[in-house]
Amino acid sequence: MKLKTTVAGVLAALLLSNAALAERYVRYVEHGTVSWGELVDGKIHQLSSAPYHGGTRTGHTLNEADATLKAPVDPSKSFMTAFNYSDHKKETFGITKDTTKQPGLFTVPVGSIIGPGENMVRPKGSTNFHYEAEMVVVIGKRAENVPLEEASDYIFGITIGNDGSERDWQAGDIQWLRAKGTKNFNPVGPHLVTGLDYTNLDIEGRHNGVKSQGANSSGMIFDFNYMVHYISQYFTLEPGDVIWSGTMGDTGPMQPGDTYEITVEGIGTLKNTLVQGE
């Protein structure tokens, strides 16, 4: 019993230590200019460039409440992972996901990414638009053929994503590009956080304030370290590129005017509203 108590105490101390080491970054608009910043106690310290490019403080500061936040990512590539939680049902095909031998990897255009508070847009002709609560990791340095045991060294930080998905298009199109990657489909934010244990974080999604999804990142079939290892065998990952976790449980349709909030432990809450496009 004494040994178990000691181990539990050590683990708790490690978690507190990790939380204390966490750093928080944002992308924001001020006077029409988009900048990166480090967020400390509600104040944004402007950076000379992205933190994963070694950006340093310029000396300019502003309150977070006075800034318009953008997605805290600026990738050249956005990789998504299909059916990466065993409890996520394939609404498209009506069957439950079985563990696969390799990740269900696909890409979407980076132009589909929007920021916290920005409106997701349901295009004309879309009638079955779904939310998907996910985590997103940001690559910190160029990665090619990365050994699994070194993969964590290439992950800079984590944020939150909502993989907006048009289920009828997903079922009817040969590829998922339109269903998953249409402009304004994929909110990300609000902050990019380093120093957290991304293998063990709670995730919760709320549709119009009512809990609709929930899981822990430990339930990913292929975790982020494996995804970095796997993707880097076939594609070159550059600093700033993003990898999505895949979603959990059941998703559901959103109607114009609906909101979806995703909270990830240690990061915060991403909230967006769906509107009808022209």
Q: Is the dihedral of CA 107, 200, 190, 13 positive or negative?
A: negative
Judge whether residue 36 has pLDDT over 80.
yes
Portion of the chain with pLDDT greater than 70, in percent:
88
Window from 1-15, 87-101, 102-116, 229-243 with minimum mean pLDDT = 1-15
**Three-state SS for 5?**
helix
Portion of the chain with pLDDT greater than 90, in percent:
86
Judge whether residue 158 has pLDDT over 90.
yes
* Mean pLDDT, rounded, for 48-53: 98
Number of residues in the chain: 278
* Structure confidence by residue, pLDDT tens digits, 202-223: 999 999 999 999 999 999 999 9
Give the pLDDT confidence score for residue 238 in this predicted structure: 98
First to last CA, the chain: 64
* Mean pLDDT, rounded, for 158-164: 98
Give the pLDDT confidence score for residue 150 in this predicted structure: 98
Query: Domains of the chain (ranges plus CATH)?
Result: 22-70 (2.30.30.370), 78-276 (3.90.850.10)
**Three-state SS for 210?**
strand
Judge whether residue 5 has pLDDT over 70.
no
* Mean pLDDT, rounded, for 161-181: 96
Give the pLDDT confidence score for residue 278 in this predicted structure: 86
DSSP 48: S
* Residues contacting 251, CB < 8 A, separation 6+: 91, 130, 131, 132, 165, 212, 213
Give the pLDDT confidence score for residue 86 in this predicted structure: 84
Nearest to 140 by CA among 152, 154, 161, 119: 154
Judge whether residue 2 has pLDDT over 80.
no
Q: Checking DSSP bridges between strand 120-122 and strand 268-276, what pairing results, if any?
A: parallel
Confidence class of residue 94 from pLDDT cuts 50, 70 and 90?
A: low
Give the pLDDT confidence score for residue 4 in this predicted structure: 47
